[in-house]
Every structure is written in structure tokens, then in C-alpha cells.
Structure 1
Amino acid sequence: MSTIHAPQRTSGIPDTLRLQSRDPRTSLADRIALHIGLRLLIWGTRTPRLTDDRERHARAHRAHAATATREHGYLREALLAPRP
């Protein structure tokens, strides 16, 4: 096959990669709509914390409250203890 008689392109870019009517930027309204749509998709697919396991959440909350109470009591006793 001879390529001497084939049509030559001056730019070197194949015709399939050249887009004649391409807009250089997406409009502001389209970008805002895309961002809102993406945020709604992410928000809609989230798993609320309490629907996972209410019992596990309640147990963790009670453990955290008990730890905070113990720490508060220890610090109170340490601060109110008489100094030698």
C-alpha cells in the first residue's frame, strides 16, 4: 500500500479528534446543576448513623457518658484534695 497518494493533513491531528463545534467551557448554569446533582446523589446514598444499629449506638453513648463521668469525678477529687 502506498501512502504517497493518500490525502495529507496539514495539522497532523486526525479528523476524528477534531471537534468543529465544541464549546470551550461548560456554562455556569450547567456546572451549578451538575454540582447540585452530585451533592444530591451523595446525600441520598448515605446511611444515617442511627439506622445502622440503634443498640450499638446506645451502648457506645452510655460508655462515653460513663467515661466522662469517671474522668470528671477523678479530676474533681484531685483538685479538691488537701495538699500536704
Structure 2
Amino acid sequence: MNTSLLAPQRLSGVPDTLRLPSRDTRTSLVDRIALRIGLQLLIWGTRTPRLTDDRERHARARRAHVENTTRQHGYLREALLAPRP
């Protein structure tokens, strides 16, 4: 069955959505500032602080650094205090 004849017909053939009155398409300064602030707040709120996520890894790296430094100082101390032949 052909339904095109049953649909409401417009004389101009232009859909109603295209015949909207023209309006200003620019966004106001206040709206742009509010959108920018909102976006920055969203980005800031979804961040993950480095130290809270990597607390265990940070502690392991710190212990390894302290152990390496202690070992190097011990080696240098022994090398400097060793009797010379």
C-alpha cells in the first residue's frame, strides 16, 4: 500500500523544521565561561592523584633508592679504607 498519499501534504514542500525563524546562533560570553569552568571542574574531578594510586610503588622505589645509596656508600668506604699494596 502506498502511504505517501496518506501523509499530510504541504504546499511549499519545505519541512516545518527548516522554516524556523532565524535566531542568533552565537553563545553568550557568560555561557561560554560557564561551560569552560564546568569542563575544567570535570577534568579536575576525574583526575587520579599520582601518590594515592601509586603509594605502594612509590614506597618500593624509595626503599630501593635508599638501599642502593647505602650500598654504594658502603662500597666506597671499604674501597677508600682498604690498605694499599
TM-score computed with the length of structure 2 as normaliser: 0.53
Partner of 2:12: 9
Gap regions ≥5 residues in structure 1: 71-84
Tell me whether 1:53 sits opposite 2:54 in the alignment: yes
Q: Percent identical across equivalent pairs?
A: 71
Partner of 2:80: none
How many residues end up aligned between the 2 structures? 63
Distance 1:17 1:57 in 2: 60
Higher-Rg structure is: 2
Partner of 2:81: none
Partner of 1:39: 40
Gap regions ≥5 residues in structure 2: 73-85
How far did residue 2 of structure 1 move? 7.2
1:46 partner SS: coil
How far did residue 62 of structure 1 move? 5.5
Distance 2:48 2:61 in 1: 18
Partner of 1:73: none
In structure 2, do the counterparts of structure 1 residues 50 and 2 end up closer, same or farther at CA, with 3 Å as the change threshold? closer
In structure 2, do the counterparts of structure 1 residues 18 and 62 end up closer, same or farther at CA, with 3 Å as the change threshold? farther
How far did residue 59 of structure 1 move? 2.4
